[in-house]
Amino acid sequence: MRRGVDLVTTEVETAYASSDDPVERLRLCINAHLHALLVDSDTVYVLLFEWRSLSAEARGDIIALRDQYESLWAEIIETMIEQGVIRKDVNARLLRLIGLGALNWVATWFDPKGVYTLDGIGDFVWNVIMDGVIRKSVRT
């Protein structure tokens, strides 16, 4: 579970650092999250669905790691709101929770041999965000 959180954190941080454009950063981070989740699907399934089976102490450790990862996303979203990229009327916490929930759920249905590619899914999520929360004046 720790390896899974470390992997996805590293991938998203690397994606974020790879661009100076805040809109592009968000797109890159979405795709990085998806790719990291599905690189080692066993790690993902354990991380996403088995953490409740841990002892109270171990569960607390994993929840702390999850919260640390989610704070990375909170910072990304808050920065975009402060920069005027995301509309100010968007609830940042709800956007983060629903966004990560949707991305994480892909691990339950994604089929590498199926109709949808990870990039295609990431692009779809990206388009939903662009139409829903990104201010029209900053779209690329």
> Chain centroid to CA 62: how far?
17
CATH of the domain at 103: 1.10.357.10
Query: pLDDT higher for 58 or 10?
Result: 10
pLDDT tens sequence across 88-139:
999 999 999 999 999 999 988 999 899 999 889 988 888 888 777 776 776 5
Distance between the two ends of the chain, CA-based, in angstroms?
36
- Number of structural domains the chain divides into: 1
Confidence check: pLDDT of 75 > 60: yes
Lowest mean pLDDT among 10-19, 42-51, 100-109: 42-51
What is the spatial distance between Cα 138 and Cα 110, in angstroms, rounded to a whole number? 31
Which tokens go with 128? 């939903």
Q: In terms of residue numbers, what domain contains 107?
A: 2-138
